[in-house]
Structure 1
Amino acid sequence: MHLRSVDVTSAFPNGNLEEEIYMLQPEGFHQGRPNKVLHLCKSLYGLKQAARQWNKKLHAALVEMGFKHIEADRSVYIYSNGVVKIIVPIYVDDITFASKSNVAIDKAVKDLCTCFKCRDLGSTKFLLGVGIGQDKDKKLITLHQRQFILDMLEHYGMSDCHPVQTPMAPGTVLSKTMGPENSDEVEFMRNVPYLSAVGSLQYLATMTRPDIAYTVSYLAHFSSNPGLKHWAAVKHLLRYCKGTLEHKLHFNGQVDSCEFTIYSDAAHGDCVDTGRSTAGYVTTLAGGAIGWASKLQPFVTISTTEAEYISAVEAGKEIHWMHNILGEFGYPVKQASPLHIDNQSAITVSKNPEHHGHIKQLDLRFFWVREAVNEGVITPHYIPTAEQVADLLTKPLPIPKVQYCRDRMGVLV
């Protein structure tokens, strides 16, 4: 598909207000008596309802053009007349058109420009801090944040750091008890931009780098009172980013298929502060990761089977969502989607009411995954731990396993 970016100039003032709102006159532009105020006719930046009103205005314009939003993601619109299809994802006022027809995109952009003042940015090369590369001959798309990483390293004084090959050193165990221990450490950490650094890394982990998702999520646990060891782990992750600066998220379209695979894993009771387990899953399509998550489970699990099963439930939700969104895109999934788990007991529990003693205390809402398996929506598969791609989303790993998981996620040079 061809990609085209469009930016709407001063988007929020296009919104129509439904409430009666008054504001003080801006300094230097006062008219009338000193106590005169302005009655707003249009939405302004800073109003609580500004974003919502702009969304309504844009929605009405796109519907008038023949687009309709999909239910799986209300920020994505589709136009289809049986011959031409245009997919339009929207982020506030940044609009991207994707279609196999450049003529159709040209017409859609022209129609949008009659509704709003827009800037046609041409072929999409950079979007929301993400660089986009497209090789139509090889049917290859790459996503990267090279410049973002360089700016981040410079901002935190790590531009000249020595690279490392793992996001977190194997065997690393941190806890909330490792906060500053004396006044000197308290003073030192007061001047350390821990929250800012973790926030920057979180954006990187969310957008294009699933290989650092676990480490960032883990480090975020200590944001309220970070200590020297926590900061050392953040710097270690920044050094890993330096060493993988040229890595990109690759998607290969050689195979014309929308079949996807999900890997699910859990590390039972690995949080030393709460006793909760870390769960992770990753969805791969066209050779690259398109969705991933790594976070603590909401409650303490009493067995590995229970932890792995709860993780599989979260991955099962992702499978259902993938079926919905692909179907609305016009690529319905007609067969069961594989869910790879490295725990035989969890697989058995997802199919039949066996090992009842391990999970009898679970809330009934977790057992819907059995229905999904019985209905042929999900097919659990056993995969050896050595081949479990989601392993990188649940624990620190040695270099060979990091490289293996990273490659399977499509994070390549």
Structure 2
Amino acid sequence: MTLPEGYYSKNDNKVCKLVKSLYGLKQAPRKWNEKLTNVLRDVGFVQSQCDHSLYVMDKSSVFIALLVYVDDIVITGNNDNEISRIKGLLSKSFQIKDLGVLKYFLGLEVIYDKSGICLNQRKYCLDLLAEFGYLGCKPVNTPIELSHVINKNIGDKQETLVDITSYQKLIGKLIYLSLTRPDICYAVQFLSQYMHKPCDSHLKVALRLLRYLKLSPGKGLLFKKSDCFDLTCFADSDWAKCLNTRKSVTGYYVFLGHDLISWKSKKQSTVSRSSGEAEYRAMCSATCELIWIVNLLSELKVCCKVPIQLYCDSSAAISIAANLVFHERTKHFELDLYFLREKIASGFVQTVKVDSESQLANLFTKGLSARLHELFCEKLGLVNVFKAV
């Protein structure tokens, strides 16, 4: 902060000590989080090491989980009386407002059903369509055309957009919308690569994505009630997908029981010399995610069965993981090689061959036909609870 004139001499080297944080200062978020953490620890919560926004209380038969985003808090547990007691303790330190059963949180709508709960962003999606004037557009069946490759120089006469702010705003909102819409992740991750220098062709793909969202703005993830807590993972890659850098695209998703809990579509950081290497790197990325998920679930007192099934449609990648002799073909990605082999040898993961037609991770690495796209969305648990029966 800048001190007012006359408060100190220009030749004075003294600095001010922050005693109490003021709203608007750079230190305010850090001070707020520090105070909230101290209060929760005094109540009896333990901060998660995997996700610092998660706090867990586990005492005898009482289990309470508390999730924090700045000053918005979601609390759940197996004891209503204990939850009410914690709310009362928090009200002594902060001015809180109890909104009751969770229905809307940070743009996410929570809909309760007999079979489970559905997370969707229907209102957020409709507001996005209205903002860009696409509420009355003609919808399309896929977010991106079949086998479409996005390049920064698709045509020789392509010109950079004059107003890139609107494009950046649109892609930023689509990134947040992908929290409950994994079906648009592949298109969004490609479009986000050209945030600083987009062309007309990129804007056309982004607007096509809006037309796809118009088809079912209420689609979201359904989490069904189940006693199964087994983790399964599908990993895939599209070799040399980027025409500018020839880097491959990694795509994977993780199921907890029958529910989708994690997914990613991302361009790899290095160039792969073969499709088998690209698939192997995708399996390593998926394994890292599995390690984090297992650690997080252990803090939530959920035990996962090992080895975890890791499905891949590349026989070459599976052979590399199992065979220790392929030195000439694998020495240039030695770190990934030893990492995955170590996890396989320890019994943490088990690689399983799957047919390319049954590889659901294709949804995160390439454009699909309308039939396959809809089929894969159903298998991933994407439903539209607002659709009239």
Following the alignment from structure 1 to structure 2, what is the Cα–Cα distance between the partners of residues 52 and 303?
46
Please say if residues 284 and 336 of structure 2, whose CA atoms lie closer than 8 Å, have aligned partners that are also in contact: no
Partner residue in 2 for 1:283? 254
Partner residue in 2 for 1:45? 23
- SS at the partner of 2:67? strand
1:397 to 368, 378, 385: 368
- SS at the partner of 2:329? helix
Partner residue in 1 for 2:348? 377
Please identify runs of 4+ aligned residues in structure 1 that moved more than 6 A.
Answer: none
1:325 to 288, 296, 300: 296
Following the alignment from structure 1 to structure 2, what is the Cα–Cα distance between the partners of residues 114 and 22?
34
Partner residue in 2 for 1:122? 100
- List aligned pairs for 1:185-200, cutoff 5 A: 189-190=162-163, 193-200=166-173
Q: Is the counterpart of residue 293 in structure 1 residue 271 in structure 2?
A: no
Partner residue in 2 for 1:91? 69
Q: Is the counterpart of residue 141 in structure 1 residue 114 in structure 2?
A: no
Alpha-carbon displacement from aligned partner over 1:13-64 (angstroms, at most 9, x marks no partner): xxxxxxxx7755xxxxxxxxx7459986421233222211111111110010
Following the alignment from structure 2 to structure 1, what is the Cα–Cα distance between the partners of residues 193 and 231?
31
- Overall identity of the aligned pairs, in %: 33
Sort the Cα spacing of 1:119 and 1:179 in 2 relative to 1 into closer, same or farther, 3 A. farther
Please say if residues 67 and 79 of structure 1, whose CA atoms lie closer than 8 Å, have aligned partners that are also in contact: yes
Alpha-carbon shift at residue 100 of structure 1 (Å): 2.2
1:214 to 186, 196, 220: 186
Partner residue in 1 for 2:323? 352
The aligned amino acid for 1:238 is: L
Structure 2 length-normalised TM: 0.92
- The runs of 5 or more residues in structure 2 that have no matched partner are 9-15, 385-389
Alpha-carbon displacement from aligned partner over 1:254-313 (angstroms, at most 9, x marks no partner): x21221211100000011010000011111224332111111100110001000000000
Alpha-carbon displacement from aligned partner over 1:312-365 (angstroms, at most 9, x marks no partner): 000000111111111111112242111111111111212222544332211425
- Of the structure 1 ranges 210-219 and 331-340, higher mean CA displacement relative to structure 2 is found in 331-340
Please say if residues 232 and 256 of structure 2, whose CA atoms lie closer than 8 Å, have aligned partners that are also in contact: yes
Please say if residues 230 and 305 of structure 2, whose CA atoms lie closer than 8 Å, have aligned partners that are also in contact: no
Alpha-carbon shift at residue 134 of structure 1 (Å): 2.2
Alpha-carbon shift at residue 72 of structure 1 (Å): 1.5
Alpha-carbon shift at residue 246 of structure 1 (Å): 2.3
Partner residue in 1 for 2:176? 203
- Of the structure 1 ranges 320-329 and 365-374, higher mean CA displacement relative to structure 2 is found in 365-374
Following the alignment from structure 2 to structure 1, what is the Cα–Cα distance between the partners of residues 74 and 183?
27
- List aligned pairs for 1:226-375, cutoff 5 A: 226-253=198-225, 255-375=226-346
The aligned amino acid for 1:144 is: N
Following the alignment from structure 1 to structure 2, what is the Cα–Cα distance between the partners of residues 267 and 68?
41
Sort the Cα spacing of 1:39 and 1:377 in 2 relative to 1 into closer, same or farther, 3 A. closer
Following the alignment from structure 2 to structure 1, what is the Cα–Cα distance between the partners of residues 361 and 81?
41
Following the alignment from structure 1 to structure 2, what is the Cα–Cα distance between the partners of residues 354 and 241?
48
RMSD of Structure 2 on Structure 1 (CA): 2.0
Q: Is the counterpart of residue 75 in structure 1 residue 48 in structure 2?
A: no
Partner residue in 2 for 1:165? 141
Please say if residues 222 and 383 of structure 2, whose CA atoms lie closer than 8 Å, have aligned partners that are also in contact: yes
Please say if residues 175 and 222 of structure 1, whose CA atoms lie closer than 8 Å, have aligned partners that are also in contact: no
Please say if residues 179 and 226 of structure 1, whose CA atoms lie closer than 8 Å, have aligned partners that are also in contact: no
Partner residue in 1 for 2:151? 175
Following the alignment from structure 2 to structure 1, what is the Cα–Cα distance between the partners of residues 337 and 192?
27
The aligned amino acid for 2:216 is: T
Partner residue in 1 for 2:11? none
- SS at the partner of 2:227? coil
Following the alignment from structure 1 to structure 2, what is the Cα–Cα distance between the partners of residues 173 and 326?
37
Structure 1 length-normalised TM: 0.86
Following the alignment from structure 2 to structure 1, what is the Cα–Cα distance between the partners of residues 133 and 45?
47
- The runs of 5 or more residues in structure 1 that have no matched partner are 1-20, 25-33
The aligned amino acid for 1:200 is: K
Following the alignment from structure 1 to structure 2, what is the Cα–Cα distance between the partners of residues 192 and 56?
35
Sort the Cα spacing of 1:159 and 1:39 in 2 relative to 1 into closer, same or farther, 3 A. same
The aligned amino acid for 2:71 is: D
Partner residue in 2 for 1:156? 132
- Of the structure 1 ranges 109-118 and 363-372, higher mean CA displacement relative to structure 2 is found in 363-372
